[in-house]
Amino acid sequence: MLKNYFKIAIAVLKRRKFFTFISLFGISFTLTILMVVTSFADKMFGPNYPDNKRDRSLYVIEHEEFDDKTQGMNKGPMSFYFLNHYAASMKTPAKVAISSMFTFTNTYVNNKKISISLKFANADYWDVLDYQFLEGRPFTKQQIDNAEKVAVISEDTRRDYFGDIPSVVGKYIEADNVKYRVLGVVKDVPATLFTLYADIYLPYTVSKNDYRNKDFGGNYSAILMGNSKDDLPKMKNEFANVISRISMKDKQFNHLYCYADSYFNTLVRTMAGRKENSGMATFVVIISIFVFLFLLLPTLNLVNINITRIMERSSEIGVRKAFGASSKTLVYQFIIENIILTFLGGLIGVVLSVIVIKIINGANLIAHLELTLNFTVLFYSLLTCIFFGLLSGVYPAWRMSRLNVVTALKA
């Protein structure tokens, strides 16, 4: 019986080519957008190179100083002193990576200007992050303490500055009018990882900005890495206790807010949170509404198209009812047809997703970002397609089952 339903469904889809095209386009387009967006999200929020230890790490990206009287506020990254004095002194973390946000500068090679980004970091940075060294090694704590002018550069910078020579370790690169000796070359980092991306990594002690400045605000962030994921609650509580004990006496602001969160929670807090509010509730509501509306529109489109298809098949339904077909049989057949349609749309959507992702990767729209299909999301997306296929087919099928035989034959 199911085989016959399948044959009838394919025949109907071939016969109503326009409706079939509109339905398939709506389903496949929706799935393609969903897959491409989740691919971006996976690269943004998932544990990817070089930040592979997110399951046992907490992130301190920004702080907020606030004054009750004036309602004044200072919000943003922190100073090196703040993170080194308060975060790096904690007992629970195994390592604390401290690094600056990248800043742009120019360098020149053969009278050609190259725009590069600089990042300053401590020694633990190379232990917490899993940078892939194509040659050489990172700078050490001793070299940092000695304020040696040494650098680790990216693969792109190596090619742009030095060309295709066999090795660049030991050679010098000029940045911001200072010459640095190259210690190593690392694989490029996607620009979407804004706290890790850079072209040149330098010891924080060679920064032109005073890293001993005791102001809370600055240009640095930190990653607290535990020995295991079981350390996360302890690190979070310890950091909260450390921050709560900081005196705001003689400061411009009388409240300090700073949190150690998971990477995802940190980004949500940065985008939607303020003070004690993590922003998670707001984020969930916004995303839920977006997903609901995004999936609701193609579902309503399918419902309307299916109703139109039913009305055009009124005479067929009337004949089948006249020859003894039950309403249950007709409803079952129509739902099977709709599931087949949505499943075909889902398969087309997968193919389109692969093509679009290849085009985006080939266009290099975001530096060093290599999108891939998330197969877990793909599986659930196909299940969602089948679910909405059922949902969009129930009401039209019910309408079809209610058609009177005489009325249907007259249509």
Q: How confident is the model at residue 403 (pLDDT cuts 50, 70, 90)?
A: low
Task: Return d(Cα 194, Cα 338) in angstroms, integer.
Answer: 44
Q: How far apart are CA 222 and CA 260, in angstroms?
A: 9
Rounded Cα–Cα distance for residues 37 and 41 (Å): 6
What Cα–Cα distance (Å) separates residue 342 from each residue in 22, 28, 29, 328? 12, 9, 12, 21
pLDDT of residue 181: 97
**Rounded distance between C-alpha atoms, residue 105 and residue 113, angstroms:** 10
Domain locations along the chain: 2-46+282-410, 73-252
Instruction: Decide if 213 contacts 79 (C-beta within 8 A).
Output: yes
Burial class (CB in 10 A: 0-12, 13-18, 19+), 16: middle
pLDDT score at 305: 67
- What does the H/E/C string look like for 339-402? HHHHHHHHHHHHHHHHHHHHHHHHHCCCCCCCCCCCHHHHHHHHHHHHHHHHHHHHHHHHHHHC
User: What was the pLDDT predicted at 172?
Assistant: 95
Ranked by mean pLDDT, which of 163-167, 272-276, 279-283, 372-376 comes out on top? 163-167
Residue range 227-243, pLDDT digits in tens = 999 999 999 999 999 99
Give the residue, 240 or 108, on which the prediction is more confident. 240
Cα angle: 334, vertex 340, 342; to 5 degrees = 105
Taking only the tens place, the pLDDT of each residue in 8-60 is 666 766 766 776 777 777 778 877 887 888 787 777 777 788 999 999 999 99
Amino acid, res. 306: N
Type of residue at 101:
M
| Helix, strand or coil, per DSSP, at residue 200 | strand
| Angstrom distance (rounded) from CA 102 to CA 280 | 27
- pTM over 0.85? The answer is no
Per-residue pLDDT at 327 exceeds 70:
no
CA–CA gap between residue 169 and residue 154 (Å, rounded) = 12
Q: Which residues are CB-neighbours of 63 under 8 A, at least 6 positions away? A: 75, 76, 77, 78, 82, 216, 217, 256, 257, 258
**Residue 228 to residue 47: CA distance in whole angstroms:** 15
